[in-house]
Amino acid sequence: DVKVTQSSRYLVKRTGEKVFLECVQDMDHENMFWYRQDPGLGLRLIYFSYDVKMKEKGDIPEGYSVSREKKERFSLILESASTNQTSMYLCASSPTGGLTKNIQYFGAGTRLSVL
Amino acid sequence: SQQGEEDPQALSIQEGENATMNCSYKTSINNLQWYRQNSGRGLVHLILIRSNEREKHSGRLRVTLDTSKKSSSLLITASRAADTASYFCATPSGTYKYIFGTGTRLKVLA
């Protein structure tokens, strides 16, 4: 079974703090994604990575950065957390080929509150 | 850049009944996926249907795709309380990315 692990289920941070959200997948997938999910807005893509050290902006990259130094790990960084970044953050991975090509496997999510 | 939109936004049915939810999208696609999300958890892939397929089954799930109408439907037959979840359609945006709709919240009453 594919496993995508997010480092924290719940996180509470203060405004202005630097926040790291970590995601690790164990299936050697090339693609990794970070989404945020807000009521009524669905999932919105923040950043996407298709290879180590490669990244691509999604629909809402402002206020975020990412790091992918190893294939299995994709980190989301909030440089200076703000209250409007309070949200559920979901990490996903997908392979580029094979029978499960383009199927995304999600972590359990991190609910972040910025006070 | 919303692509797929689910309808209805919320659905409440009795256990044993069938649940149907719909997804409409705007541009041509070569496949469409459906996912389920239990409350407060990540999404789980249910089924992928390709543009050359009109219907696909997986257990109690039946998915249809009508490319001429740019719409898809997900039918859950003989629903159970455990089917209570949000259901999302996802359509391709570029080579590997997908756009997810806002979801249908299904509640199955025991």
Q: How does pLDDT run across A60-74, given as a tens digit for each residue?
A: 999 999 999 999 999
Give me the pLDDT at residue B95, please. 81
Omega of the bond leading into B8 within 30 degrees of 0 (cis): yes
Q: Is A36 helix (H, G, I), strand (E, B) or coil?
A: strand
Task: Please state the rounded mean pLDDT for residues A17-42.
Answer: 95
Task: Please state the rounded mean pLDDT for residues B64-70.
Answer: 96
Task: Please state the rounded mean pLDDT for residues A105-109.
Answer: 96
Q: Which residues pair with B86 in a beta bridge?
A: B37, B105
Whether the CB of A34 is below 8 Å from some CB of chain B: the reply is no
Whether the CB of B90 is below 8 Å from some CB of chain A: the reply is yes
Search chain B and give the residue with CA nearest A90.
B42
C-alpha A107/C-alpha B42 separation (Å) is 5
Give me the pLDDT at residue B3, please. 64
Pick from B16, B110, B22: nearest CA to B74: B22
- What is chain B's mean pLDDT, rounded? 94
Q: What is the percentage of chain A residues whose pLDDT exceeds 70?
A: 98
Is the confidence at residue A101, as pLDDT, over 90? no
Search chain B and give the residue with CA nearest A42.
B102
Question: Contacts of residue A103 in chain B, CB cutoff 8 Å?
Answer: 33, 45, 48
First-to-last alpha carbon distance for chain B, in angstroms, is: 37
Q: Residue B1 — very low, low, confident or very high, per pLDDT cuts 50/70/90?
A: very low
C-alpha B106/C-alpha B8 separation (Å) is 9
Q: What is the CA radius of gyration of chain A?
A: 13
Question: Contacts of residue A107 in chain B, CB cutoff 8 Å?
Answer: 42
Token code pair at residue A83: 């209250």
Q: Where are the alpha helices (DSSP H) in A1-115?
A: none
Pick from A12, A16, A32: nearest CA to A24: A32
Tell me, rounded to whole angstroms, the distance of Cα A92 from its chain centroid: 7
Residue that has been written with the tokens 């009524």 in this structure: A40
Strands (E), chain A: 4-6, 10-13, 19-25, 31-38, 42-51, 54-57, 64-70, 73-78, 87-94, 105-106, 110-114
Token code pair at residue A49: 């990575």
Question: Contacts of residue A41 in chain B, CB cutoff 8 Å?
Answer: 102
Is the confidence at residue B41, as pLDDT, over 80? yes
Is the confidence at residue B2, as pLDDT, over 80? no
Task: Please state the rounded mean pLDDT for residues B16-42.
Answer: 94
Q: Residue A80 — very low, low, confident or very high, per pLDDT cuts 50/70/90?
A: very high
Task: Please state the rounded mean pLDDT for residues B72-83.
Answer: 97
